[in-house]
Every structure is written in structure tokens, then in C-alpha cells.
Structure 1
Amino acid sequence: MFVFIYIYNILLILMQKLYEEMKMRIEATIKLKRIPDHIRKQHKGFREWDFVLSKHDHQTILQILIDGRDSNAVDIEGNPLPTLVYLAREKRPQHHHHFKAGSMNALIRVSSRISNGPIILNVDCDMYANNSKAIKYSLCLFMDEKKGDEIAYVQFLQSFDNLTKNEIYASSFRVLQQLELHGLDAIGGPCYNGSGCFHRREALCGKKYEKNYKVDWKKVSDTKADESASYLEETCKVLASCTFEHNTTWGKEMGLIYGFLVEDIITGLNIQCKGWKSMYLSPERDGFLGVAPITLLQTLVQHKRWMDGHLQVFLSRYCPLLYGYKKIPLKLRLAYCPYNLWAANCLATLYIVVMPCLCLLKGISLFPKISSPWVFPFAYVAFVHRAYSLNEFLWCGGTFRGWCNDQRMWLFNRTSAYFFALFETILKLLGYSRLNFVVTVKVADKEALKRYDGELIEFGATSPMFDILATLAMLNLFGIFGALKKVILDVDEDLQVLEKFGLQILLCFVLVTINLPSTLFQE
């Protein structure tokens, strides 16, 4: 036992030393704002950047850093290392690079030439593996003797390692991911969420599922190319060039689909419509962890991009109700629609937020009197719906304050981000706007991170979205003041005012409370 502990401690010290060395190299690179000279000399792929004038206009840069076929490619314990390839696809101003989808398709083609592994793992740049058994779990599903051959991809839960205790920006989608997505396994599987996903290469490359399709995993041999690493580097560059996809089905039927802000959603739908199924995997220990936005503006911008893309899908020829007709079950087609129509939901939310306070200022009653028995249906629906929502959130491991933050972000998103997404989608349909992929910021300054850890709302830069939020909050506050003015000035009629407008005053009060700074709710 003591020997085991001694060896374990030595390994920890070695691992810590390697980590510190890697950390120093990264910090040195950031400080210099370039790759250090001694590292550049080791890898010709880095040296090629010296001849590049712009990151948006350069040739294909490809280098096999570790050749897994080489007997000398081993770790410190003598175990063989996997092939590691550095790739920067060609970019030219006159050719659209199709953002993340174009990058993924280039990687798919190059990897098929070098290794051609039957399973592909896709993760974002800000994500890392958190569960060493994630690959094993996925392969167990792909290799299942009864249903494994039907599965095109296995989607892991999208989790984040920087969430605060009470999730100030409600970035975890706790109820959606832990309850709703699990139910999709029974009707064809969940949608593809863009990261933390294992793909079957054949399905991702456009192959249609056939009823008698069967994979003999025992006969799946090593299909790596026999050519030398230098030869592969030169011949594979054309696969990542700007013109390779011309007059091909890449971006249409093969690989990730182009032309949508949510290329992952439309790609998953396209794969399912070809007969494949998917699975949702949520192990006790999260498979992959990423970074959630740490400011309010970043969160709203991210939601705006998602909802803009979802609505774009619904209004295109890929609308699940039409495109999936006789291809996927009706239940699965309907399951896509709530997410596709989240942006349009902003109209109903804005009506609920604006009309009660305006009618309260004008003295118009929208609800029955408190003394009327017809008030019970309204009160019942409001109370039960909120109680059910709170119970779901707590059952999924959240806190009460986390639920309150979730309700606040529900209002913020639907009255600002979703409204802008709807407006921008309409402009695109009318030809007044073009596809614009906004990348979520992955790096934050220390002050913003400190406020985020303290669960303080960080507004960051100014934005028209904040104007909408402030206007709606002030409008409801004026509605409450108007009602209080009537109660104070008309002493004889104060009870009648409360009885007639009680529910409207309560609704306005709740909307104002949701907009209060989070510092007022600190424990």
C-alpha cells in the first residue's frame, strides 16, 4: 500500500511539472503575441505563417506533428501515441469559408485521407474531456448488436465548468438537457448540438441508412494510408482548399450543411431524415466541459444567434414539418418546432409584459375582480405553472435563487434577444441583411470574471437590447405608481381599485421585481 502511494505521489509531481511547463509555454506565447522561435523551428507548419499577410487570406497549412504509424511515436511509458495533425484550411477573400461548418468539412476530408477512423469526435475550442470513459460509453452504443448500427451520432450533455452556484445567466439549460432531451431517444433521438458529439463517419459524409446495414467491427481494419507523412501533407492540402467543394454535394448532402447559423441543428435533422437515429448520453460525470458566457451581453448575443438560426431553419425548405415528412416520425418533427419558434415566441411575451401596465395606466381592467369566482382559473394557472417550473428546476439539481435567475433570463431573452432575432430574420428574408456569424467571446478580463464569480450582473458594452429591458421595467414601474396614485388620492375608492386591478398590479410588481439588480438578493 505504501509503495502504491509513493508511486502515485511521484506521478502527481511529474504531471504537475509537465503542466507547469505547458502553462509557461502558453503564457510566453501570449506575451510575445506569436509562437516562440524555438517552437517555430520544431514545426514547419508554424513557420509557414511567416509568409501569410492576413489570417483571412492564406494557403493551406498542414503538418503531421505526430505520425501514429511511426514506431518512435510513443509516450514516456512506451505506449504508442495517436496521429496528431495541424491544419489551417485555405482562406481567400473571394471564397466564402462557411464559418464552423466549412472548417468541419475540411477536417472530415483530410482525416479520411490520413486515418479514416469510423468514429469522429467533435468538440469546440473551449471544451475539454472531463470523463475518460466517454469514448467507451459512446462505442458501447455504436457497437450494440441490436440497435447500434442505426445510430449516426451520440450527443453528450453540454456542460460548463464555470457556472456559478445559482447560475446568474441561466446558461446550463438544466431542465431542457436533463429532462426534455432524454425523451427524444424514444422517437428518433436528439438533435445535434454542435459539440461533445461522436459521429459515425459514413452518416456524416452523406450515406443513407439501409435496413440491412451492418458493421462487422471485428473486420474493421486499420485503414491508414501507406504513404509517408511528407507525401500525405502535400496531397491532402487540396482537400482543404477553397475550390475543392465546387460542383460537389459538400455542404448540401455531405458533411455539415451550409447557409445556416445553426449548422449543427440542420445537419442533425438532415442525417435523421436519411434514416439514421441518434442517442443522448448524460453520464453521472459530465463527458465534456466548456465555458459559458460571463456577461449579460454575451449571453443575449449568443441566444440571439441561436434563435435567429432556429427560425431561419423553420422558414426554409428544411422546415422539420415539411422536410421530415415521411422521413422521421411526426413526434420528432413536432419536437423540433418549439426550439425553431422560440424567436417568434417573443411577440406573445412582449404582449404579456406591455399590455397589462398600459391598460393599468388607462384604467382598463384585463382580469376579473378579486371577489369574482372567475379569478380562480387565472390564479390557478399562474400558481401551478410557476410551482411546476420550480419543482422541475429543483429536481434537476438547481437552487431556488437559481430558479429566480432562470426566470429573469427567461424574460430578458424573450423581450430582447429573441425580438432582435425575429427582426433580423425578417430583414434577411426581405433581402436587407445577410448571414452574420457572431462568435461568442471565450476570454474575459479578471474584473469581469471576479464580478461573475460573485454573481453580479455584468452589462459590459452598451447595446440596444438593454434599452428594451430598461424601457419595459420602467413601463411596469410607472403602471404600479399610477395604481398607487389612484389608491392614495381616491381614499374612498381604494378598495375598489385594488379589487378591480389587483391581478394587474401583482403582474406588474412581479415584472419589476425580476428586473431588480441581483445584489438585492445576495445571501
Structure 2
Amino acid sequence: MGVVNTALSVMAYDYPIEKLSVYVSDDGGSKLTLFAFMEAARFAAHWLPYCRKNKVVERCPKAHFGSSNPSRFPETDQIKTMYESMRVRVENVIKRGSISHDYITKQGESEALSRWTDGFTPQNHPSVVQVLLENGKDNDATGHGMPNLVYISREKSTDSPHHFKAGALNVLLRVSATMTNAPVILTLDSDMYSNDPQTPLRALCYLLDPSMDPKLGYVQFPQVFHGINKNDIYGGELRHVFEVHMPGMDWLAGPIHAGSGGFFRRRVFYGCPSETLEMNQGRQVSHSIKSREVLEMAHHVAGCKYENQTKWGRKMGFRYGSLVEDLYTSCLLQCEGWKSIYCNPKRPAFLGKSPINLHDFLNQTMRWSVGLLEVAFSRYSPITFGVQSISLLSGLCFAHYTFWPIWAIPVTIYAFLPQLALLNSASIFPKVWPSMHPFALYY
């Protein structure tokens, strides 16, 4: 339900419906997730006109209905009942682990779910590309068009390497290129829902401004978190990153990509600004996204062997080689000549979740630490390659992130040293005698 709420919040953007497509990546390949989005597609037919008619600002259903001061409109109770009914059906299916035949209302849904055979596992399964909504053919309850909604699960094979999030993002890039080929792409984590329906327009103010640098590759919004305890004892809000580091880097070549909330030109994933496009950015998709030709090509580019003997992951798309593909990719994009810009509006563009217990925080910190050190000691280390390719200051900024895990050593020492000194009645600081400093008596 978390990713369903996220998808519904961006489907309801104040943006021309015919130019908006939402692609959902399910890397585990679960038919329960596909079922949840079948339910979301049905609910969207009522949710989108409700938001449009009443000019709702919080367009995440859970946030809208769960607000302490919810907005009240004539249709609110009816839409809330629909949402709760959808939530109950999805949670019942998740709890049972199977989908009741009573929940399947269309022939196409049954055919889509029939792909999950006994040999279908999260680590070994064919690619799945399912069009749930198609603009121009599917209308909402008021007769208006709806944005494209596409479910994607890339092919997995025990014989082929899995490049985790970066590999899934590259599949999204290729599949979306075959279907709609939009020139601007938003990457969004499943737990970061849209908090402002005007966000795309804010990003386009930079990307379409003729006075901006033509090498501007992406616009990065900060990650703002909700549900964190009052004292934020684990530092989950990352204020030093989004309130200090990124505004500082904004004066150089631009901030890093934070993994979510970034509006990219599709062009940046196919080479440096001076290179010729391998895939024509201006190509218009003339066929229906449900046509046999388009779906066959989409399944083909989502295959696990498609990237063999290609530049994907090295010179194209999100880069492989680190668990922190966001920082690694943004660093290499700046090394190629692209720039970025930081946009921090008064109303947060996105709201997401952050670890609120020690176990989750340690798991996240471990993943970040391993990924950052992979970048720090790679051939594209910011301290060597980055300093030469971008600039001294920008390279050092990226190096500050990549070598951040090493701070664990002095911090750990400093955490235990005072206690050990106290147990041994020793002082860890040098003594200062009055004769050594004229102002020592005032300490």
C-alpha cells in the first residue's frame, strides 16, 4: 500500500495527462504487487477527478485521509470508503499470500496473473511488462483521460548478475524509451510520496529555461521525512546533507543525486553533452503502448541478457559497481560535463520514511558505508578521477561523502576513550599549569 500511495500521488500531478506516464518497478516480481496496482488503477478513476475538482494539495490518499485536519468536500466520505475498501482487499491478499477469484473482475487481469507459474521465483523469472492504464483509451469516472500506468518486473536468471537498484532503474529507462520516450524522467523511491502537485512545473522552470546552462542534467529536490521521533536520535533526517552540503555544492557543479526526487533529462543517460545520441530523444512513439510490437520490444529490453556487450552500466544509464548508485552515477555525470541544480521549495516536494529503530538504522548505514567505500577506492574515485574531471572543490565534495565511513574509526575511539580513562584514573587531556599560559587561571 505504501508504493500504491506513492504512485497515486504522482499520477494526480497538475500536469497534462497525455504527457504523464508512471512506471512501477517490482524487482521481486510479485503477483501480489501487480494485483495491488490493478486495484490502484480502478481507484485512480475516482481519485484523480476528486483531486482535480477540489484542488486537493495532499494527493497521497493515505496522507489526505489520515491528516489531523483533513479537508472536507461533498465526495470525501465516498472516496474514503473506496480507498479503505481497496486497502482491505490488498491487505487481505497479502495476508493470505494468494488472490481470490472474487477479486479478479476483468479477463485481462486473469491473463496477466497467469504468468506466475510454479517455476516463477524472485530470483528466476521472465520479464513482465503489464500496461494497467493507457492514455487515450482508459478514462476516469468523469470521462477525462488518465495517465499511463505500467507495471515492470525485469527478467531474473541465476546465470546472470543482478545489479540491484541500478539495474532495475536501467530497465525502467529502456522500457519507458520504447513506450513513451518522455524527455524528462523523475526517479522516486516507493516510500517517497508527492507532497506538492506543482512539483513537475518547478523542475521544468529550470530544465526549460533558455537562460540556464544547456549542460544542466537534473534538478534535485531534498528528501524530507515524516514520522521521525521528536529528538531524531539516529539523525535520520540527514539535515547536514540537505541543509548544508547540497546548498553548498549548488554553487559548484551542483549537488549529488540523492537516489529519489531527481528530475533528469533522459539525454544525460546516453553520454556526455557533446556526444551524439544513441537513442533519438525526439522520437515519438506512434504505436499504442499495448500494441504487440511495443510490448515485444519492451519485454526484450527488460531481459537480463540485453546488456551483454553494451555500454549499459558503464557509459550509459545508472552506473554499476556500487551499492550507492545514486552518488556514483551523479559523480560520473558531472565528470562527463553535466551539471545539476538544487531546488528546495518552502513546501516539501516529497515526504518519505526514515529508520526509526536501531536495527533498520544499522542496516541502512552498513549498506551506505560499503557502497561509499566501493566508490572511494574505485578507478573513478572522486579524490583522483573526480578532482581532475570536474574541479578541485567539487571532487573534494564527492570525496567527503565517499570517505565518510572512515569517520567511524575516530568516532568509535572517542566514544570509548573517556570511559577507559576514567576506569584507569588517567587523563586523556594534557595538564595546563598557570605558568604555562598567562590566561590559564581563568579556564
* Same fold flag (TM > 0.5): yes
- Aligned counterpart in structure 2 of residue 139 of structure 1, from 198, 204, 209: 204
How far did 1:15 drift? 2.7
2:341 aligned counterpart, secondary structure: strand
Q: 1:10 to 1:360 in 2, by over 3 A?
A: closer
CA distance in 1, matches of 2:360, 2:276: 47
Which segments of 5 or more consecutive residues in structure 1 lack a partner in the other structure?
Answer: 214-219, 381-502, 504-523
Pairing 1:180–2:245 present: yes
CA distance in 1, matches of 2:221, 2:116: 35
- Aligned counterpart in structure 2 of residue 256 of structure 1, from 314, 318, 321: 318
1:300 aligned counterpart, secondary structure: helix
- Aligned counterpart in structure 2 of residue 25 of structure 1, from 86, 89, 92: 89
Q: Deviations over 1:398-455 (max 9, x none)?
A: xxxxxxxxxxxxxxxxxxxxxxxxxxxxxxxxxxxxxxxxxxxxxxxxxxxxxxxxxx
How far did 1:359 drift? 4.2
1:49 aligned counterpart, secondary structure: coil
How far did 1:141 drift? 1.0
The residue that corresponds to 1:295 in the other structure is 357
Matched AA of 1:300 = L
Matched AA of 1:243 = K
- Aligned counterpart in structure 2 of residue 149 of structure 1, from 206, 214, 221: 214
CA distance in 2, matches of 1:344, 1:373: 39
How far did 1:281 drift? 1.6
How far did 1:360 drift? 4.4
Structure 1 contact 74–80 (Cα < 8 Å) conserved: yes
Q: Deviations over 1:61-119 (max 9, x none)?
A: 11211122x3x322222222111111111101111121111111111101000000001
1:132 aligned counterpart, secondary structure: coil
Give the alignment of 1:23-102 within 5 angstroms: 23-40=87-104, 41-43=107-109, 44-68=111-135, 70=136, 72-102=137-167
Name the structure with the higher helix share: 1
Q: 1:374 to 1:132 in 2, by over 3 A?
A: farther
Which segments of 5 or more consecutive residues in structure 2 lack a partner in the other structure?
Answer: 1-53, 56-70
The residue that corresponds to 1:280 in the other structure is 342
CA distance in 2, matches of 1:253, 1:377: 61
What fraction of aligned residue pairs are identical, expressed as a percent?
34
How far did 1:212 drift? 13
- Aligned counterpart in structure 2 of residue 335 of structure 1, from 382, 397, 407: 397
Structure 1 contact 156–287 (Cα < 8 Å) conserved: yes
The residue that corresponds to 2:186 in the other structure is 121
Give the alignment of 1:253-402 within 5 angstroms: 253-369=315-431, 372=434
Matched AA of 1:17 = T
1:324 aligned counterpart, secondary structure: helix
- Aligned counterpart in structure 2 of residue 165 of structure 1, from 230, 247, 258: 230
Q: 1:247 to 1:369 in 2, by over 3 A?
A: same
Question: What is the number of residues matched between the two proteins?
Answer: 367
How far did 1:228 drift? 5.9
The residue that corresponds to 1:225 in the other structure is 286
The residue that corresponds to 2:76 in the other structure is 12
Give the alignment of 1:387-426 within 5 angstroms: none
Matched AA of 1:226 = H
Aligned-pair Cα RMSD in Å = 2.9
Structure 2 contact 220–341 (Cα < 8 Å) conserved: yes
Matched AA of 2:128 = I
Structure 1 contact 188–272 (Cα < 8 Å) conserved: yes
Give the alignment of 1:461-500 within 5 angstroms: none
CA distance in 2, matches of 1:340, 1:168: 23
Structure 1 contact 153–197 (Cα < 8 Å) conserved: yes
Matched AA of 1:313 = V
Q: Deviations over 1:8-33 (max 9, x none)?
A: 72232343233223212222222322
Structure number with greater Rg is 1
Give the alignment of 1:233-248 within 5 angstroms: 233-248=295-310
Q: 1:246 to 1:291 in 2, by over 3 A?
A: same
CA distance in 1, matches of 2:81, 2:240: 40
